[in-house]
Amino acid sequence: MSERFTGSFTQQEPIPEAGIEAALRVLRHGRLHRYNTTPGEAAEAALFEEEFAEFTGAKYCLAVASGGYALGCVLRALCIGPGDRVLTNAFTLAPVPGAIAAVGAVPVFVETTEGLTIDIDDLAGKAAGAKALLLSHMRGHICDMDRLMAVCDAAGLKVVEDCAHTMGAAWNGVPSGRHGIAGCYSTQTYKHMNSGEGGLIVSDDADLMARATILSGSYMLYDRHRAAPPAEAFERVKYVTPNVSGRMDNLRAAILRPQLADLPRQCARWNALYRVLEAGLAGTPGLRLIARPVAEAYVASSFQFLLPDWPAGKVRALLSRAAARGVELKWFGADEPTGFTSRHDSWRYAPSQNLPQTDRVLAGLIDMRLPLTFSEADIALIARILREEVSAVFQSDAEAADIPAAD
């Protein structure tokens, strides 16, 4: 009888007890709004910003309502607007080009390498006339940030890092989010810290962060922030910056502070699961693993592999057979968007663009979550199932309709 996995790919770990207790304290006193404080009290949101700034090594930090809001807020704070060209990865998730389109700017997609990072040669060729690069470290894969920054600096491009999948990661010892002018993070349920929804912005640029703070809905209460620019930065921008409210509340900040303290341990746990799966799939016929550069200190809360040159029918057959054995895979090459998974030709608010290299990579790109509710034994079982099913489908000449589901 074939082995079958019975775990859930969408079940997260519970909020730690320290987070639950902190949330209960906020609920008991009722001051959920970040600016609703008693004399001498520091709000949970302000404390969380201070702690996250220290974690990343940034001068300033702002907690907001979501990772997507963080992206749009930074673009607005950079004064990017209608008609401006903003470069971004062709391989990313919809909130990234969505943030560009939402401020009236034009998303310009950059090709993807087989390492699942932005193609820096293609970036260099498209940089002329662009205002910024919204760089997505998609699924936790970090490109050569030293080379990328050299290209962007030479072209005068402001770099905003989307670090939704790289909280706690680094390139050459520099934390993700600290290479460009700003870094944006997410605390949505499937990210490295879980508050349901939430986001963070870090930067060393005082004027940018003053604008972002007022944009987020601080009114004239910005002096209650603890990881904020000095008062003179707000004086320069407070009368000309609109309020586009998107604050984080004290309840979510209270839940997140204990998770931040535990984040290094959690990152190590994800990476241990990743290594078990990587070892279990190494050498599988028809399957290519993603090489991780030595300079990349990754946080692997998901796993990707390539099925090079597989026809669509065989990919669909693999997804079906794996699902029949309890393993949930996502495919970025499908013609129609499914759930969180979509590709550049699905985002029709952006101009249609010819991206043959990206299309070739996505056609064989398979994605899988690695929740911390899984044990290393669970991951080893998943690896055995995938190895068997990939080998079976790869060696078959049949298309999806002709391949029976696994037992």
pLDDT on residue 405? 39
Residue 332, pLDDT score? 95
Rounded Cα distance between 315 and 5, Å, is: 20
Q: Report, as ranges of residue numbers, the positions in the chain whose pLDDT lies below 50.
A: 398-407
| Residue 124 sits in the same domain as residue 270 | no
For 303-329, the pLDDT digits (tens) are 999 999 999 999 999 999 999 999 999
**Final residue of a domain: which of 236, 261, 286?**
261
Rounded Cα distance, 304 and 311, in Å: 18
Evaluate whether residue 11 is within a structural domain.
Answer: no
335 by Cβ neighbours in 10 Å (0-12 / 13-18 / 19+) ranks as exposed
| Enclosing domain of residue 127 | 17-261
For residue 5, being part of any structural domain is answered with no
Is 137 a member of any domain? yes
Please name the residue that has the structure tokens 């699905």: 346
Question: Which of 216, 234, 261 is where one domain is finished?
Answer: 261
Q: What is the pLDDT of residue 404?
A: 41
Q: Is the separation of the CB atoms in 171 and 296 below 8 Å?
A: yes
**Residue 116, Ramachandran bin (φ over 0: left; ψ between -120 and 50: alpha; else beta):** left
pLDDT at 397: 67
pLDDT of residue 367: 98
Say yes or no: 245 and 304 in one domain: no
- pLDDT tens-digit readout, 188-229: 999 999 999 999 999 999 999 999 999 999 999 999 999 999
- The count of domains in the chain is 2
- Domain presence at residue 4: no
**The tokens 């962060």 sit on which residue?**
209
Specify the pTM. 0.95
Please report where in the chains the tokens 């990313």 appear, as a residue. Answer: 92
Q: What is the spatial distance between Cα 294 and Cα 173, in angstroms, rounded to a whole number?
A: 11
CATH number for the domain harbouring residue 168: 3.40.640.10
CATH number at residue 385: 3.90.1150.10
Query: Using one digit for the tens of pLDDT, what is the confidence trace for 18-60?
Result: 999 999 999 999 999 999 999 999 999 999 999 999 999 999 9
CA–CA dist 65, 40 (Å, integer): 25
Structural domain includes residue 70: yes
Residue 231 DSSP SS3: helix
Query: Strands, DSSP E only, in 75-127?
Result: 85-89, 106-110
Strands, E assignment, 192-284: 199-203
